[in-house]
Structure 1
Amino acid sequence: MCADLWSFALSTYARPGVEAACLSLQEQGADVCLLLCGAWLEQRGVALTAERIEALQQIARPWQAQVIEPLRQVRVQWRAMAGKDERLAALRERVKALELDAERQLLMRLDVLAQQWPSNEGADQQRWLEGLAAEDAANLDHDALQQLRVMATGT
């Protein structure tokens, strides 16, 4: 078990099928950083509460909207042009690195909050992914969500 969220996210994302599931969920509007945090909380056995979900979302929403999404939009917009322009391709890679760093910063912020919550509480800790994806639930591929859970937590 990974003690910190960033290490958990890296090791989980490297597993077969997780990257594809995360990208699919991201394309459907899900906050993958929040979902990885949810999988980590499930693995740690942290009890799910509405207050905890709200606290995580209050950290993630503005960071996603104001930092990560603008970087992602630039990276995506430049995709076609970067294929024809070597210098733009290099700039696009730098934007991609900034986007990854912004995601890491978000995960670290979520980690600081979540480390305060006791693990192995024995309550309904297996519903974090659904709780954190609730506002996007109608649009999400639940198979991808379940695949993320299985690959991240082994359940």
Structure 2
Amino acid sequence: MIALDDMDRAILRALEADATLSAGALGRRLGLSQPACWRRIRRLEEEGVIAGRRLVLDHAAAGFGVTVFLGVKLATKGRVSLEDFERAVTAIPEVQVVQHVLGLFDYRLKVRARDIADFERVLRRRIMTLPGLGQVEANVLLSEERLPGPLG
């Protein structure tokens, strides 16, 4: 873990808001030269603080209007390895996130579908056939608010 100063945090906040900012534009915004800003960004990338940059999609506009969170409990952990379950579930394109969690469920899945009928198809044909699957609980996302991260 590296020590972050105020300028590092300002860079991270700015890139979190708009990852397309060039080092020159970011430097002008923060009062740094382009080379100094570029060196800081590169150091943050090399140290793993910046792990990558992503495109944020409007899933509803792209035709995927339903998001469902599934709590999944494996039937018997001894019969099917966690790796077998994870390999099978990550092969399902509609499953966007797979989280191994501690608590009532073993896994939490984020599933995107075009509509409820599409989700039902994915659930019946793909998810319910996963190896070792036990209990499944679904929660349909009604709305989502983006909150500032820990640096915001």
Q: Scaled by the length of structure 2, what TM-score is found?
A: 0.25
User: Relative contact order, CA 8 A, sep 6+: which one is greater?
Assistant: 1
* Greater helix content: 1
* Greater strand content: 2
